[in-house]
Chain A
Amino acid sequence: MSTFWQRYRRNKSAVFGLAVILIVIIMAVTANFLYPFDPFRLAGKPLSGPGMNGFLLGSDSLGRDVAAGIVHGAKTSLLIGLIATLVAVLIGIVFGAFSGYYGGRLDDFLMRVTEIFQTIPSFIFAILLVAIMKPSIVSIVIAIAVVSWPGVARLVRGEFLALKSREFVQACHTLGMSDLRIMLREILPNCMSPIIVIGSLMVATAILIESGLAFLGLGDPNIMSWGFQIGAGRTMLRSAWWVCTFPGVAILITVLAINLVGEGLNDALNPRLRERI
């Protein structure tokens, strides 16, 4: 663990990213303490500029506090980003593991399915899924997971293919271990590093997809999110630039920080993958 931290620390921008993520997490966790009221609540005079009428970052056309929205939106973005990624990684592991371990017909079939999902334009597919299932946190998570698992499946398949013929796996076979146990207990732990790296980068993509959906009006109507704030503020762009600007900065900083952490993890966990983008 300490050697991991030493290697991670060498990448200065990754440390910076980690610090930013921690700030965003603290913001999300303390949202109810910082702004104890509903962020949809009309908090004061509409279209106040930043610093005016007690609004740190201004208010929108309905008098909602932009800063409160950003703090509460952090919760939404992080939660959806994390859960959607977890679901996608799980689907990807199942597909990739069976594909790589068993090979043959099953591999052909599963990879064909993966290929189809990789071909479909992902953002439009996500829009379609959310529109059909009606916008809610659950449908957004499902949509993001459904469009993001193929990358993990391919990665896991490659790892399983490479590892399944190694001596330690053959030793497990001679010990009479079941296939499922070999896959779960022996091979999977050995390919966790690249999965963690790709997963961390996927959280960033998931946050971007979520904000895009919310911007188009496909967010959960009961939950504040950064994309929703920008979508709601765009008609007032001429008179109130701050409504769109600050939530966008929040997305940019968060996604950038997660990408930096992902690269740092990549350097620290598997130096041999360093050339990969």
Chain B
Amino acid sequence: MTQSTKIIRYVSRRVFQGVPIIIAIIVINFFLLNLAEGDAVDVLAGEAGSATPEYMAQLRAKFGLDQPLPVQLLVYLKNVLALDLGYSFRHDMPVSDLIFDRFFATGLLMTCTILLAVGFGVLLGLLAAMQLNTWKDAVITVFALITYATPLFWVGLMMIVVFSLKLGWLPTSGMENVAAFYEGWDRAKDIAVHLILPTITLSLFYLALYTRMMRASMLEQYGQDYVVTARAKGLTERRITFVHVLRNALLPVVTMAGVQVGALIGGSVIVESVFAWPGLGMLAFESLFARDLNLLLGIFMLSSILVIVVNLIVDIIYCFLDPRIEVS
């Protein structure tokens, strides 16, 4: 069997493994929905002010809420697989449309965050490992320890105090200056300026994580036999570090970047609500206050699926990066 067919088999097996997890998440979602007090009809009746019991029973029959639970579960599964995540009565829109509208903002924030956190994390970890036990290493380690322990929302608020309120350099909230009607490059620049604080806030925690991981990973690789061999054949330390050790040390950091996506989504709820960044996290925050459970569950489901997909992609990248990985 050639390498490429092996990889295709591996990928399809991994896709197949993801399916039961997605179904399990949908089932969990369904039970959470049923655990909550009141159903969609109660919400509707509450919105309308009053409703007769007969009318409510009629509505329940219309939505299939009078059916036994297993039947409801099957209908729910079918709906979700058809990308129908239910209806948000607050926004008077299908949940999937609402989520789709907000997806770009969150995607932008998360992509910038991952790039910043992985990039600087690798750099700082590398620096700390190369300058082991010097003051630089100590400073980087202490920085990582402190950021690791700081609540994201607090960092965000402190950044607003310093950079927006005291110094007046950056905007406090939102994604763009809507009143200015910017277009083209001006608009992109405006969004970029608004993006700075949320991205730095969200990336700090992961920056700390990747720095610690990269440092540990580098140190582990330095102790391997192949480094001794490289030294014995007279390679310079610089060459050993950048050509041999760095590439191997990067592997666990790549995996970690995939695993952390779930946590990143959770962090974006907090950061987006601090900076009023109009993404999925902000939508989740709003739906909490509006008691819009359908919407909250939709966001939860989408983010779970996103985690599965990203992990799959990371696994695939991984088996290209490291030919030693068992694909069969």
Contacts and interface: CB of A to CB of B under 8 A. Distances in A.
Nearest to A113: B24
Given A120-B262, A123-B267, A131 B296 contact: yes
B304 to A, nearest CB: 5
A237 interface: yes
A201 to B, nearest CB: 10
Given A116-B24, A127-B269, A252 B151 contact: yes
B245 interface: no
A218 B299 CA distance: 18
A128 B297 contact: yes
A204 interface: yes
Contacts of B58: none
Contacts of A132: 32, 35-36, 293
Interface residues on B, range: 35 or more
Interface in B22-41: 24-25, 28, 32, 35-36
B149 interface: yes
A123 B272 CA distance: 14
B20 interface: yes
A10 interface: no
Contacts of B151: 208, 211-212, 215, 227, 230, 248, 251-252, 255
Contacts of A181: none
A115 interface: yes
Given A216-B269, A216-B270, A256-B146, A122 B154 contact: no
Interface string A175-193: 0000000000000000000
B149 A256 contact: yes
Interface in A219-249: 227, 230, 234, 237-238, 241, 244-245, 248
B76 interface: no
Interface residues on A, range: 35 or more
Nearest to B270: A212
B153 A121 contact: no
Contacts of A216: 269-270, 273, 285, 288
A125 B300 contact: yes
A277 B212 contact: yes
B119 interface: no
Contacts of B20: 112
B274 A119 contact: no
Given A116-B25, A248-B154, A124 B145 contact: no
Given A122-B262, A128-B32, A212-B151, A275 B220 contact: yes
B21 to A, nearest CB: 5
A259 interface: yes
A158 interface: no
Contacts of A119: 21, 25, 262, 304, 307-308, 311
B174 to A, nearest CB: 15
Nearest to B308: A119
Question: In this complex, which of A116, A121, A128, A217 has the most chain B Cβ atoms within 10 angstroms of its Cβ?
Answer: A121
B175 interface: no
Nearest to B311: A119
Question: In this complex, which of B148, B154, B307 has the most chain A Cβ atoms within 10 angstroms of its Cβ?
Answer: B154
5 contacts: A116-B21, A123-B265, A128-B300, A132-B35, A245-B161
Interface of B: 20-21, 24-25, 28, 32, 35-36, 145-146, 148-154, 157-158, 160-161, 165, 212-213, 216, 219-220, 262-263, 265-267, 269-270, 273-274, 284-285, 288-289, 293, 296-297, 299-300, 303-304, 307-308, 311
Given A120-B304, A237-B160, 5 more contacts: A133-B35, A217-B289, A230-B151, A248-B154, A251-B154
